[in-house]
């Protein structure tokens, strides 16, 4: 909560980077939640905290956009980035919340693959944000996130097929399908951020 | 159907208010549908009528936008408001239709909480529309709708967890989950309208 | 794959028509997949090929937009059309993939009605694309697609009600519901294309 003492001259690039770093934290809490002996209540509590911190950063960006006369790139693009990053956090928070609320104890190992995709996306996004300043090396980032989203999509369909295979009780299928779909939406949300970055880069070039 | 005799000088503000008032009707029909001794066929018939009236208002707005040279605010914002209000009606109509078609007789009491949120959103929206003229007192409206959406979201997750608790037959869980999700989409649709109003207010200020 | 030898002077109208023609192929493969004695693996393989060809056309359009100084209508509208057409293909590909992966053997006859709607939408869309040049006869197209989408929507709700009637095993309901919903999303995606065409026509008129 040290955010309250944010120095006034923090740049848009710093704030967007900070926002993406919250996603690295969120993705790693998600990985913790999936571990076999996880303390669901404790991880969920820390996730709520991370989500709250992410919200503060989002508000700081919006406030800065509204109070700044000349922004480094289009106002609406900064909004789109900030809210895109915020959406990822919300999706990851939702997954953790579902695992807690639905009292799911046995998660199929395949879900870890999706969380690894999320962790990789979070690292790539957080490394890409500072590059918005120079508009350099962004192409590799958005290509790689699109590739990861494709892999995640294939993985997703296979997990659903497995859930439908008859191996699980139907009520468990319902719970796990919800969780699996929210994981995929989180990956999609990362792709949306990457697409926004691509559009900004194309405009600025 | 007296709409046919709509006087030619009805303002955009009047039409948007009329559109939001249809949502008050819709939300109250939804509450009727959930009552224990509801005549599902009759309520569904009246809901179809309300939805049809709402469509007429939406078309009147679109027609007026297309035939008016100077609109009070951006053409696309009026479209966004009109179609946003129309989306809420469609979602509420869908819920009533589902309850009828799926032949659900026992609805968990928690669903009433979501319908109360919808009724409150409808009243707030209908009270806010005339204020678009002066752009006054709109902030309380969108803040309150956002707060209600957050409460609805928490309520939603708890209802789903309850559906998954083992208390219901799995096929009933499927039906009730569909209905619960459509209720939440209706609340989200109200929030989208509120966000559109916020954007308009920020532009005009 | 003869697309590689695309002549340099192919117009935007030709490319959009080509894109819509891939949808005619896709819808007909979907119809094949639903036939009682379908070879699921073979149809799915041909669908992947059709989807790949559609992607090539989409990329050709995007490349042409980026390298053309004066486009026949707004750049973003061409993008919206190209990506809208591409979305339909993705949805139809997803349905075929689901039928294969979920190992569904018995599909309710009602699904054929939805595939017929898709086939009709594909034909209408493919016939409408060349008319973007003259902006003539487009209104019948978008009105008819909207009408088909409405019919598809009613059909959709009835299929879901049938799935929930107790006639099917719950796990089969889950599989068939997923497939039914993706069919409806494909129809919605056709409507979105028609709405984009309408917006372009209104702007140009």
Per-residue pLDDT tens over the stretch A163-173: 999 999 999 99
C181 is a domain residue: yes
How many angstroms separate the CA of residue C141 from the nearest CA in chain A?
31
On whether residue C3 sits in a domain, the answer given is no
Q: Could you identify the residue written with the tokens 């962004």?
A: A138
Structural domain count of chain C: 1
- Helix, strand or coil for residue C41? helix
Residue C129: what pLDDT?
A: 97
The chain B residue lying nearest A101, using CA atoms, is B161
Query: Exposed, middle or buried, B66 (CB in 10 Å: 0-12/13-18/19+)?
Result: exposed
The model's confidence at residue A6, banded by pLDDT at 50, 70 and 90, is low
- C175 and A157 in contact by Cβ < 8 A? no
CB C171 to CB A164 under 8 A?
yes
Q: Mean pLDDT check: name the lowest of A180-184, B183-187, C4-8.
A: C4-8
Whether chain A has a CB inside 8 Å of the CB on C101: the answer is yes
Burial label, A144 (beta-carbon count in 10 A; 0-12, 13-18, 19+): middle
**Which tens digits make up the pLDDT trace of C108-157?**
999 999 999 999 999 999 999 999 999 998 999 999 999 999 999 999 99
Question: Which positions 150-179 of C are in contact with A (Cβ < 8 Å)?
Answer: 170-171, 174-175, 178
**Average of per-residue pLDDT values in chain A:** 92
Nearest chain A residue to B162 by CA distance is A102
Q: Which of helix, strand or coil describes residue B138?
A: helix
Q: Is residue A166 part of a domain?
A: yes
Chain-chain contact of C171 with A173 (C-beta, under 8 angstroms) = yes
Specify if A70 maps to a domain: yes
Residue A24 contacts residue A122 (beta carbons within 8 Å): yes
- Integer Cα distance of A195 and A81 in angstroms: 10
What CATH number is given to the structural domain containing A38? 1.20.58.220
pLDDT at residue A32 tops 80: yes
What is the interface pTM, i.e. ipTM, of the complex? 0.81
Instruction: Residue A160: list chain C partners with CB under 8 A.
Output: 101-102, 178
User: What's the CA gap between C140 and B201, in Å, rounded?
Assistant: 38
Put simply, the answer to whether B101 touches C158 (Cβ < 8 Å) is: yes
Q: Quote the pLDDT of residue C160.
A: 96
What is the mean predicted confidence (pLDDT) over A151-175? Answer: 95
- Is there a domain that residue A29 lies in? yes
Compute the mean pLDDT over every residue in chain B, rounded to the nearest whole number: 92
CB B173 within 8 A of CB A170: no
pLDDT of the residue at B9: 58
- Across the interface, of B66, B171, B178, the residue whose CB is closest to C166 is B171
Mean pLDDT value across residues A115-125: 98
Contacts of B192 (CB under 8 A, 6+ apart): B84, B87
The label of the residue with tokens 């006034």 reads A8
Q: Residue B14: what pLDDT?
A: 95
pLDDT average, residue stretch B180-191: 98
Task: Quick: pLDDT tens for A54-85.
Answer: 999 999 998 898 888 888 888 889 999 999 99
Does a structural domain hold residue A1?
no
What is the rounded average pLDDT for all residues in chain C?
92
Is there a contact between C132 and C61 (Cβ–Cβ < 8 Å)? no
- B170 CB neighbours in chain A (<8 A) are 170-171, 174
- B76 touches A at CB < 8 Å: no
Q: List the end-to-end C-alpha distance of chain A, in Å, as a whole number.
A: 37
Instruction: Kindly indicate the confidence band of residue B20, based on its pLDDT and cuts at 50, 70 and 90.
Output: very high
pLDDT in tens, B137-181: 899 999 999 999 999 999 999 999 999 999 999 999 999 999 999
Query: What pLDDT sits at residue C68?
Result: 86
**A44 contacts chain B (CB < 8 A):** no
Nearest to C161 among B101, B170, B171 (CB): B101
Q: Residue A1 above 50 pLDDT? A: no
Q: Which of C161, C174, C177 sits opposite B102 (nearest CB)?
A: C161
Residues of chain C positioned with their CB less than 8 A from the CB of A161 = 101-103
**Each residue's pLDDT tens digit, C81-113:** 999 999 999 999 999 999 999 998 789 999 999
How far is Cα of residue B103 from the mean position of the Cα atoms in its chain?
23
For B138, the domain range is: 2-204
| pLDDT band at residue A8 under the 50/70/90 scheme | very low
Q: Which residue of B has its CA nearest to A95?
A: B157
pLDDT computed for residue C6 by the predictor: 53
pLDDT greater than 90 at residue B2 = no
Q: At B92, list the tokens.
A: 């509420």
Any domain includes C100: yes
Whole-number pLDDT of residue C2: 42
């Amino acid at each position: 909560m040290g955010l309250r003492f944010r120095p006034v001259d923090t740049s848009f690039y710093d704030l967007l980077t900070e926002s993406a770093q919250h996603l690295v934290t969120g993705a790693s809490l998600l990985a913790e939640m999936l571990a076999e002996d996880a303390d669901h209540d404790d991880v969920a509590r820390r996730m709520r905290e991370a989500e709250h911190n992410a919200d503060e950063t989002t508000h700081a960006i919006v406030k800065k956009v509204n109070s700044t006369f000349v922004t480094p790139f289009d106002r609406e693009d900064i909004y789109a980035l900030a809210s895109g990053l915020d959406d990822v956090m919300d999706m990851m928070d939702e997954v953790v919340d579902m695992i807690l609320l639905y009292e799911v104890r046995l998660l199929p190992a395949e879900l870890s693959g999706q969380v690894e995709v999320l962790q990789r996306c979070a690292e790539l996004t957080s490394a890409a944000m500072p590059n918005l300043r120079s508009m350099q090396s962004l192409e590799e980032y958005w290509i790689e996130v699109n590739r990861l989203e494709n892999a995640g999509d294939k993985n997703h369909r296979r997990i659903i097929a497995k859930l439908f295979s008859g191996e699980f009780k139907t009520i468990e299928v319902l719970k796990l399908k919800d969780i699996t779909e929210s994981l995929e939406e989180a990956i999609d949300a990362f792709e949306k951020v990457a697409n926004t970055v691509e559009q900004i880069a194309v405009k600025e070039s």
